[in-house]
Structure 1
Amino acid sequence: MTNHPDTNTDNTSPPRSTRLPKSKLRRTIIWVLIALLAVGAGFWWWKSPSSADKAAQANGGRFGGPNMVQPVSVQEARRQDIRVTVNAIGSINAANTAIVHTQVTGVLQQINFKEGQQVQAGQLLAQIDPRAFQATLGQAEGVLARDKAQLDNARIDLARYKDLLSKDAIAKQQLDTQEALVRQLEGTVKSDQGTVDSAKLQLSYTRVTAPITGRVGLKQSDLGNVVQPSDTNGIVIITQTRPIALVFSVPSANVPLITTRLRANEVVPVEAWDRTGKTKLATGQLSTVDNAIDVTTDTIKVKALFPNLDDALFPNQAVSVVMQLNTLKDALAVPQAAVLRGSQGFYVYVVNADNTVNTRVVKPGAIDSGWMAIEAKLEPGEKVVIDGTDRLREGGKVEVIAADPKQRAGAAAPPADSKRKNIPPEMAEKLKNMSPEERRAWFQQNGGKKDKPAASTN
């Protein structure tokens, strides 16, 4: 009998227990590789720069660590006159306002003004149909002429009666009666004269004239309308705007200085600016102060007058007010942007000759046009930092750059690769106005936006 290979009973294969260590070994190797990959990824992440570091590098290291050179803009301290001012919000008021009403009823025939023009007191503004009033005047003058003739005749008779009485030709009673008649006719003539004067006055009212000098507004009645004294809006409104008044409130603490200067007849300049505070509208001077302080706000109202020859100010206009109370002569001043506030109080960063900075404690004062008067151990001509103070430290190194980005190095040069990147002309103009750091950051952010090559067709 031969043995079939499949029925070989000779057990020559290794036992099952010898294959188990190999599978465990494979799993162990896999886990070791995973662990090594994790360690390598963590090391790479730890060594790679963060986005903040990249931004700092893109901006030329401005936001780097404290030991890096910080770019700053500076300006020299100097001595100059600083105005002591009070800022407020005020309202423009017309010196006088007049609603021009007609004083008689009639048809409006003429309008003799242009809306918005300046008119003088007594200037003709409008004409009302005068015919009815002329007729009334003529009638009154006729009655006056008749009664004057009667009075003249009575006076002649009175003179005759007096002569006859002296000759004892008439009775005394007849003379007395004639004298009474003369006095009666004299009264009638006076009454007639009053009627004539009244008719003339009514006729003059048909010529509507300006009661004050000022600026006329929009017309309130049209030609052909029947106007009358009871009309609410009248014919036109006139506002006196030359000069024009500005009313505003200031803290009551300023009252002693204001009243002292007014009593001394000193000019207290007042400036009116637009609401944004960027455009000066007019310059005037303080006129008077109110007679009482408002206890709810601890302020007092004051009034200033402006010539307003250019009509820059309008009634009811809201403006920003700058009133100059005093002037600090030859005061030590630095730009307002240079003064910072910290735990030690107010201070500035001063750039030394070796391009290091140190702090100087200052006592701030009045501010005038962006410059602040200070008291400090600071000499005129020393450079103080006005931009780039966010990362400065005592003794830190700095690099002085121009405050105006357009004046910085390379600011006027067009971007070198603007043509390669096909930058639109308007964007290229914006890039010219950017600082070098801003341009570098822009190109880094847009570096991947290149023109895609056209797909080839086979």
Structure 2
Amino acid sequence: MSNQFLLIAIGVILLGMSSCSKSGEKITYTDNSPVINVQVNTLKEGSSGQVLSASGKIEAADNARISTRMMGYIERINVEQGDMVRKGQLLVRINSSDLLAQQAQIDAGILEAKANLNNIEKDLNRYKRLYENKSATDKELDDIQAHYEMAKARLESVKQKRNELDVQFSYTNIKAPISGIVSARMANEGDLANPGMPILEIESHKDLEVVAMVPESEIGNIEMNLPVTVQVPAANEKLNAKVTEIAPSAKYTGGQYQVKASLDSKSELLKPGMYATVDFPVQGKRKMGTLMIPRSSLIEKGQLQGVYTISEDNRALLRWLRLGKTYGENIEVLSGLTAGEKYVLSAEGKLVNGSKVNY
């Protein structure tokens, strides 16, 4: 029985193979995926553009970090973060009990030195009269004169110590050097304050500036008073600014030069700490033969960036790129594309690798 079933199965298979060989027909598949309309561009070599874009941050042009010039416990902090302060306002008081003890000693020393000077001055006047009457020698007069000068110097020395102490007393009352807003409070009452240790930070929002880092290869194209454009996404602002400071060295900034530009805006939406993009109109000769594409054409997945290219059969093929510097709305292509290749600028639908396209 089993042999009969085996023979039947073999016969069915042979019959099917014979049928296929006689018909000679091939199985085909139909691609019914939609065709997506796209706008393409051909990559060409050219100038690297006339605008250099750099990341920056909004900062207060006038700011102050408040610290003490003497060691002592913080007795009182009169402001909180966010408070408005005016120039000369008392902000912090440092405990001065040690200075008060020194003051008592110095004041007692001043009284003693004054009394001693008065006594010696009386003796000096008496010896002068005796000398005029030939009743005192030159040596006696010289000795009393020397004692008088020493007593006088002693009084001046003690007075100088009192002046120095008064300066130290002034350090215990810390006042605002500028008018502005308390942007940070870094200490509390009862903390031990050391010289240079920040207690408060004040920022004047009256004048704002943007601080950007410019690479070594481009710093030669940036000059003082250069007009720049600043885009601040958080405030939805596009502002004008002017370069006011160019760092002379990049020794401690990894080859990046710090450039500051004052903002020509009084907008209340702008706040120190906001991120910005600074567009520098580059001066001088620029590198030719650079491959540039619009930043808007980029496809991003994690840390990877690329564009869709067009194959010979009009399909979108994703190509990952190695990118360079940003120049305004464009970005430099270092590798991944060659001049003459077509790439997608925009699409009317969602593209995936292999999508059929029409342009």
| TM-score normalised over the length of structure 2 | 0.55
Aligned pair partner of 1:151 in 117, 135, 138: 117
CA contact (8 A) 1:126 1:208 kept: yes
Instruction: Give the SS at the match of 1:103.
Output: coil
CA contact (8 A) 1:93 1:247 kept: no
Partner of residue 108, structure 2? 142
Which residue identity is paired with 1:155? E
How far has the Cα of 1:236 moved from its partner?
2.4
Instruction: Give the SS at the match of 1:218.
Output: strand
Q: Deviations over 1:302-360 (max 9, x none)?
A: 51223575482435x5432223458xxxxxxxxx99xxx999xxxxxxxxxxxxxxxxx
The structure-2 alpha-carbon separation of the partners of 1:174 and 1:93, relative to structure 1 and needing over 3 Å to count, comes to same
Partner of residue 171, structure 1? 137
- In the TM superposition, 1:8-47 aligns within 5 A as none
How far has the Cα of 1:267 moved from its partner?
4.4
CA contact (8 A) 1:270 1:286 kept: no
Aligned pair partner of 2:200 in 230, 236, 261: 236
Structure with more contact order per residue of length (Cα contacts < 8 Å, sep ≥ 6)? 2
Q: Distance in 2 between matches of 1:227 and 1:102?
A: 12
Aligned pair partner of 1:322 in 276, 279, 302: 279
Partner of residue 67, structure 2? 100
Q: Distance in 1 between matches of 2:93 and 2:240?
A: 39
Which residue identity is paired with 2:182? V
Aligned length: 265
CA contact (8 A) 2:228 2:278 kept: no
Q: Deviations over 1:264-321 (max 9, x none)?
A: xx5412314238xx92265421124454799xx9x86351223575482435x54322
Instruction: Give the SS at the match of 1:89.
Output: strand
Which consecutive residues of structure 2, in runs of 5 or more, have no partner in the other structure? 1-30, 39-48, 284-293, 297-308, 312-326, 331-345, 349-356
Which consecutive residues of structure 1, in runs of 5 or more, have no partner in the other structure? 1-49, 57-61, 64-71, 73-82, 327-335, 344-366, 371-385, 393-458
Higher deviation after alignment, 85-94 or 163-172: 85-94
Which residue identity is paired with 2:146? A
CA contact (8 A) 2:116 2:151 kept: yes
Instruction: Give the SS at the match of 2:71.
Output: coil
CA contact (8 A) 2:208 2:272 kept: no
How far has the Cα of 1:215 moved from its partner?
4.6
| TM-score normalised over the length of structure 1 | 0.45
How far has the Cα of 1:257 moved from its partner?
5.3
Which residue identity is paired with 2:272? F
CA contact (8 A) 2:58 2:209 kept: yes
Task: Tell me if 1:270 matches 2:229.
Answer: yes
Partner of residue 192, structure 1? 158
Q: Distance in 2 between matches of 1:115 and 1:227?
A: 20
Q: Deviations over 1:65-106 (max 9, x none)?
A: xxxxxxx9xxxxxxxxxx953322234566666351361313
CA contact (8 A) 2:219 2:257 kept: no
Task: Tell me if 1:115 matches 2:115.
Answer: no
CA RMSD of aligned residues (A): 4.9
Q: What percent of counterpart residues are identical?
A: 19
CA contact (8 A) 1:286 1:302 kept: no
